[in-house]
Structure 1
């Protein structure tokens, strides 16, 4: 385990070769004359010191055990002070305080060395299980949602929708926060903690529904899920390599607030929760209830405060809004529309099959199984589509898949056989899910600077999960307005169809946004091609005129010794 000791700092100037000891090193002090930074050994009486010329690199370096590293009071800035560098004055654009950036080495070998094929297989599989388990938690609740509701005496589908909306709300709200925790405390630690936390609450959810000895009761599903999560966490502990270096942890409460962007995270999370509560509770309590509008208004105000904090006050923003271009808003808008549609499709397709078609949870799951098979095929071909057609076109295809699949379920006759619109809808929806995420991630990565590309996938995942929750709320509002509390089969079916058609409209809006993105990308090229063609046409016309004998003007009428081009722009008649 490497250890970097406490040190005293000194500066050397061109005016005075004497060194002044103090700590930490203040780079603003006599910065016009600062030439070097010296590290004193543990034995301060030893006159030998290690003097290091100051020469910040153009890009943040990768930590390495042979060089000390420093960072400024701005957490996004990391400086390396190499032992061999040209001695040049340090020109500072702003006052900074350079502090020691501590690091520890967990393993004596790099994380990617010595990994066997089997080890790599378990590593990749374990990481992929995070996405699978997230969706499994959603799917298992959807399958038995009415069974759970009957246990607690909840028969209103609008109230049952909170089981799904609340789950996706929690995931979407805390993705960025969890990412920042991983930055500070280590990704492996946060990854495994997430599995264990989910396992704990899955176990508690099962315990809340029945006795531990009721092996044929729905809580068994949650206990089995909890057990699976624990197994994945155990395998991940051994399969996931430990990071070679660990970011410095905040040492003070103020540093903790700045590093984790606690003010911004608090405002953002609170805003998302309140806005989502308004949309998902509005159709249950009624939009005329003051608490709904109060939640919506306060959520909107908090969102404005979040934007202000991230743009102007946060030194290490959890979402670098200043780095996002207007195109990013369109991309995320399309993702939001498509996945809000998918949230509606997921909830109301299950309701249609179980409530209208009277299928059991197990049979409904069987009817849904083609999604997994087609999803594998869609995932394998998405890379080729992205390579051949580009991310904007892939995004458009995914939006059209969301639209078509939802339209098929919205218009399917009540008594139609499974192999009709229902089966086709299951096949089509897979393309929407499996093409939109990678396409949106690539589009977003290409729309931001290189240092902010890492947050692209997090933003897309946040929008996906949050939009599913909001979509369920929007669908529930439409359904409530259509059914008006009626419980007849015809009115309930009409409410389902209205909600699904709302999803069609949302996905269609996403498709329109994708078309706009494609046009915006192609328009400059089209304009340039047209300009080039006009220039070429003008040159060809000029050459043709230069080669055509002139007989029209008086001076050339008899001999025709000149050409039309030679009189271009002249007033000779």
Structure 2
């Protein structure tokens, strides 16, 4: 396939298709959080159902995103990308038309499968279509434009909830997806990995999904149903058995979805351990923050959805500079100080209470958080990618992506129950504030642990290798996006991340 140049019409079409495609999943992740209080009130759901509306999507996305990348390599990246976009659109329509919480949760899980097909393809298409300096510029443009697109999500979601209906948070994806498919079919060249061999690791993907689903169900439902309830015990046992079977299959199969040998690299394993802690803290807090701003501080959906936009602005401006700094001095210091700054930000968020002022009570924590994230995510990206040989960069990005999403899945399942937010707590401002304050302190503690772990385990590679890695993989990452790939920043965290 002949390479496409930046600044040409074919290059612009490829960028437009990939940015819009990945933006679909990114916007949807942030929009749903803003709409949760309204959805809960209209459908008469409890807090566990709201958790499932988020974790149902994250569960299938985390389970199948590595498989989605593998399918694209084997059967055509454009083909799998387009299938993912269509799948996502159909699932979005089902979400928008869902008459009750159960069907909405099921449709959200289907959305996650579509996201797992389209998100790896968006970056893989760019990597295959461009080369050399044009590839670096294209990835940088994809990251920046994707950041702008997903930052619009919370504002758009809040406006739709207030002015039209929460259902249009999902239905708006359908016409956008139609545009993406039309552009991709007409203007995006097909590509595949000629060296990809063997059959896709379907068994590994299914076992991984069962492991995550079983343990997540047990963690979310145990507080309400009781730890000794048969359904909770069976799901926990199923999750543990599936996890053991997943490890066995991945160790023995010839073409595993997750080659376990990659974790023999201590720098890569350490980076992913730090990733898990950091993204667990962010995912749990940001799931609760948008609810907290509406339930306790009485912010409108639009105001709550746009509260984190300064984080987006700071990261778009400062992340490239932090990436350059990390290339010069190594990732250890930024990965140590970044989580500590973010921990301070969570402590500052304890100021948010009834009648809170955005400027006096919300903005200080938001600014400190933006500075901490700007310092942290770019070196984290480079550390994950530069820890392995260049031929494994795609695998490293996918694994880091899956780790970040799995961390979010566990945090959203565990944290609310740990701080007493169950049942109809989201409708009681006093109860919710006490739970949110406890969650902020727990999150700050986890972030401190992540910073300490980075200080102890992360090594600074040779300066030349770090610079090469930064040049080859521009460091732009989403809060909600997994850290090991250029990603778009969500105003309220979401994916190494695409």
Q: TM-score range by the shorter chain?
A: 0.7 to 0.9
CA contact (8 A) 2:14 2:184 kept: yes
Equivalent residue of 1:480, what SS? Answer: coil
The match for 2:40 among 117, 137, 149 is 149
The match for 1:175 among 52, 65, 71 is 65
Which structure has greater strand proportion?
A: 1
Alpha carbons of 1:486 and 1:473: their partners in 2 closer, same or farther (altered >3 Å)?
closer
Determine the structure 2 residue equivalent to 1:208.
Answer: 98
Determine the structure 1 residue equivalent to 2:259.
Answer: 320
Write out per-residue CA displacement over residues 130-164 of structure 1, whole angstroms, 9 at most, x where no aligned residue: 4433221111111111211222111x333312211
Equivalent residue of 2:98, what SS? Answer: helix
The match for 1:225 among 173, 187, 194 is 173
Alpha carbons of 1:317 and 1:488: their partners in 2 closer, same or farther (altered >3 Å)?
closer
Alpha carbons of 1:434 and 1:157: their partners in 2 closer, same or farther (altered >3 Å)?
farther
Determine the structure 1 residue equivalent to 2:155.
Answer: none
Alpha carbons of 1:235 and 1:384: their partners in 2 closer, same or farther (altered >3 Å)?
same
Equivalent residue of 1:399, what SS? Answer: helix
Q: How many residues align?
A: 399
The match for 1:354 among 276, 294, 315 is 294
The match for 1:478 among 418, 443, 468 is 418
1:76-91 superposed matches below 5 A: none
Where structure 1 has 5 or more consecutive residues not aligned to the other structure, the ranges are 1-109, 251-257, 523-573
The match for 1:293 among 233, 247, 260 is 233
CA contact (8 A) 2:341 2:372 kept: yes
CA contact (8 A) 2:293 2:304 kept: yes
Alpha carbons of 1:410 and 1:336: their partners in 2 closer, same or farther (altered >3 Å)?
farther
Write out per-residue CA displacement over residues 56-98 of structure 1, whole angstroms, 9 at most, x where no aligned residue: xxxxxxxxxxxxxxxxxxxxxxxxxxxxxxxxxxxxxxxxxxx
1:190-339 superposed matches below 5 A: 190-208=80-98, 216-243=164-191, 247=194, 259-311=199-251, 313-325=252-264, 326-339=266-279
Determine the structure 1 residue equivalent to 2:51.
Answer: 161
d(CA) in 2 for partners of 1:463 and 1:504? 20
Determine the structure 2 residue equivalent to 1:454.
Answer: 394
CA contact (8 A) 1:275 1:299 kept: yes
d(CA) in 1 for partners of 2:20 and 2:325? 25
d(CA) in 2 for partners of 1:288 and 1:487? 28
Equivalent residue of 2:299, what SS? Answer: coil
Deviation at 1:417, TM superposition (A): 1.8
Determine the structure 2 residue equivalent to 1:134.
Answer: 25
Which structure has greater helix proportion?
A: 2
d(CA) in 1 for partners of 2:60 and 2:333? 31
CA contact (8 A) 2:36 2:291 kept: no
Larger mean CA deviation between 114-123 and 314-323 belongs to 114-123
d(CA) in 2 for partners of 1:334 and 1:260? 29
The match for 2:382 among 424, 442, 451 is 442
Alpha carbons of 1:398 and 1:170: their partners in 2 closer, same or farther (altered >3 Å)?
farther
Write out per-residue CA displacement over residues 330-352 of structure 1, whole angstroms, 9 at most, x where no aligned residue: 22111111111111221111121
Tell me which structure has the larger Cα radius of gyration: 1
Where structure 2 has 5 or more consecutive residues not aligned to the other structure, the ranges are 101-161, 462-498
> Which one has more relative contact order, counting CA pairs under 8 Å at least 6 apart?
2
Alpha carbons of 1:275 and 1:187: their partners in 2 closer, same or farther (altered >3 Å)?
same
Alpha carbons of 1:383 and 1:327: their partners in 2 closer, same or farther (altered >3 Å)?
closer
Equivalent residue of 2:307, what SS? Answer: helix
Deviation at 1:267, TM superposition (A): 1.8
Determine the structure 2 residue equivalent to 1:400.
Answer: 340
Write out per-residue CA displacement over residues 439-481 of structure 1, whole angstroms, 9 at most, x where no aligned residue: 3343233333444332011011111122112111121121227
Alpha carbons of 1:488 and 1:319: their partners in 2 closer, same or farther (altered >3 Å)?
closer
Write out per-residue CA displacement over residues 389-413 of structure 1, whole angstroms, 9 at most, x where no aligned residue: 3233333344234323322223434
d(CA) in 2 for partners of 1:401 and 1:284? 35
d(CA) in 2 for partners of 1:397 and 1:238? 47
CA contact (8 A) 1:340 1:470 kept: yes
Name the TM-score, length of structure 1 as normaliser: 0.64
d(CA) in 1 for partners of 2:426 and 2:312? 35
d(CA) in 2 for partners of 1:395 and 1:124? 31
d(CA) in 1 for partners of 2:426 and 2:18? 46
CA contact (8 A) 2:60 2:209 kept: no
Larger mean CA deviation between 418-427 and 404-413 belongs to 404-413
d(CA) in 1 for partners of 2:268 and 2:323? 22
CA contact (8 A) 2:48 2:423 kept: no
The match for 2:318 among 375, 378, 389 is 378
Deviation at 1:436, TM superposition (A): 4.8
d(CA) in 1 for partners of 2:59 and 2:375? 22
d(CA) in 1 for partners of 2:10 and 2:56? 36
d(CA) in 1 for partners of 2:361 and 2:54? 25
Write out per-residue CA displacement over residues 414-439 of structure 1, whole angstroms, 9 at most, x where no aligned residue: 44421124112223334555665543
Equivalent residue of 2:234, what SS? Answer: helix
d(CA) in 2 for partners of 1:402 and 1:230? 39
Name the TM-score, length of structure 2 as normaliser: 0.72
Equivalent residue of 2:258, what SS? Answer: coil
